[in-house]
């Protein structure tokens, strides 16, 4: 299948190469690309018009088109995407809320400005959260960039208890989303199908050469680097259990070697020794598949 990002980079490389033959050659190459894009854009628009006139352009079809990465990117390029940017950003935030919730936090969309700036508020408490601003950037920035690549910047503000905001908690530069060829500071890797993960146990996975432990609790999946922070043993094989008196949907795991306990649903916080915590990785579930964000600088 065609990779839209790779194709875009290759087109840019070819345009740069054409510049070696002089400004006139580059102008001709750019005009050729514009004409081809306009031609296919007009054809795509006419295709949608025909489907609408035939009564086939249903909500289900629109949703399926918007969910396909390649088709969605083409619709965006030609201004034909069926869903406004605000709706797409809201959906992206719904995708990352389970991860933010594991850190005792949440995120709320404040507005999308006319010049393409997304303003978000981080809510709740992230006290004791071991995740760095880069890791949080991968969770929020990656999801929003994928859903709305036309966004030019993301501003994040800290939310207080009453839902108002109190300044910036993450450097704005670490949460920018621009139309550029460079990859964000990290890699999203497809690691497993949700249906293949048994509920209430740890399953091994690998991404970018890293050993990862996945834990599914109900419909929510959590990802951690596969290493006990106390003794260094692998987590896979540890017991996952619900603490006595704790609510449904929460769980702790007990390291098989040192028997220390860690809170699965709260960023892997240590139960006996709060200074010890698991290293969580941002996680998204798309089309029934688990994707994990591996930072370019992974905690030791």
- Any idea what the CATH number is for the domain that residue 166 is in? 3.30.300.130
Q: Given a cut of 60, is residue 252 above it in pLDDT?
A: yes
Of 135, 152, 184, which residue sits at a domain end? Answer: 184
Whether residues 109 and 193 share a domain: the answer is no
Residue ending a domain, choose from 133, 161, 184: 184
Q: What is the pLDDT of residues 33-57, one digit of tens each?
A: 888 888 888 888 888 999 889 999 8
State the pLDDT confidence band at 161, using cuts at 50, 70 and 90: very low
Do 62 and 137 belong together in one domain? no
The reply to whether 155 and 213 lie within a common domain is no
Q: Is the pTM of this model over 0.75?
A: no
- 201-208's contacts with Cβ under 8 Å and 24+ in sequence apart are 201/240, 202/235, 202/236, 202/237, 202/238, 202/240, 202/253, 203/236, 204/236, 205/290, 205/292, 207/292, 207/294, 208/294
Domain that holds residue 148: 85-184
Total domains in the chain come to 3
pLDDT digits (tens, 9 = 90+) for 194-237: 999 999 889 999 988 889 999 998 888 889 999 999 999 998 88
- Residue 71 and residue 140 in one domain: no
Residue ending a domain, among 29, 45, 77, is 77
Bigger pLDDT: 126 vs 37: 37
The reply to whether 254 and 156 lie within a common domain is: no
Query: Has residue 300 been placed in a domain?
Result: no
Same domain, 196 and 261: yes
Residues 72 and 124 in one domain: no
Whether residues 49 and 63 fall in one domain: yes
The answer on 25 and 12 residing in a single domain is yes
- Do residue 89 and residue 174 come from a single domain? yes
Q: Which of 250, 274, 251, 271 is nearest to 262 (CA)?
A: 271
**Domain identity same for 215 and 149:** no
């Amino acid at each position: 299948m065609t990779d839209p990002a790779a194709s875009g980079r290759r087109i840019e490389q070819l345009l740069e190469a054409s510049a070696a033959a002089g400004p006139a050659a580059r102008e001709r190459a750019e005009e050729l690309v514009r004409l081809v894009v306009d031609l296919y854009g007009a054809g795509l628009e006419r295709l949608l018009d025909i489907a609408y006139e035939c009564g086939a352009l249903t909500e289900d079809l629109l949703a399926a088109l918007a969910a396909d990465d390649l088709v969605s990117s083409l619709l965006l390029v030609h201004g034909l995407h069926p869903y406004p940017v605000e709706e797409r950003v809201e959906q992206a935030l719904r995708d990352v809320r389970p991860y933010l919730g594991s850190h005792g936090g949440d995120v709320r969309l404040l507005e999308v400005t006319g010049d393409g700036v997304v303003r978000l508020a981080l809510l709740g408490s992230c006290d004791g959260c071991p995740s760095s601003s880069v890791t949080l950037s991968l969770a929020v920035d990656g999801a929003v960039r994928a859903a709305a690549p036309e966004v030019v910047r993301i501003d994040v503000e800290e939310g207080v208890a009453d839902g108002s905001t109190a300044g910036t908690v993450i450097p704005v530069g670490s949460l920018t989303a621009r139309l550029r060829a460079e990859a964000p500071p990290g890699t999203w890797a497809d690691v497993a199908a949700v249906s293949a993960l048994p509920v209430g146990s740890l399953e091994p996975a690998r991404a970018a050469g890293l050993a990862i432990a996945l834990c599914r609790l109900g419909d929510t999946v959590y990802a951690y680097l596969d290493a006990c922070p106390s003794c260094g043993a692998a987590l896979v094989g540890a017991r996952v259990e619900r603490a006595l008196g704790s609510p449904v949907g929460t769980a702790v795991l007990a390291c098989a070697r040192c028997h220390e306990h860690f809170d699965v649903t709260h960023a892997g916080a240590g139960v006996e020794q709060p200074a010890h915590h698991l290293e969580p990785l941002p996680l998204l579930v798309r089309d029934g598949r688990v994707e994990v964000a591996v930072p370019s600088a992974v905690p030791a």
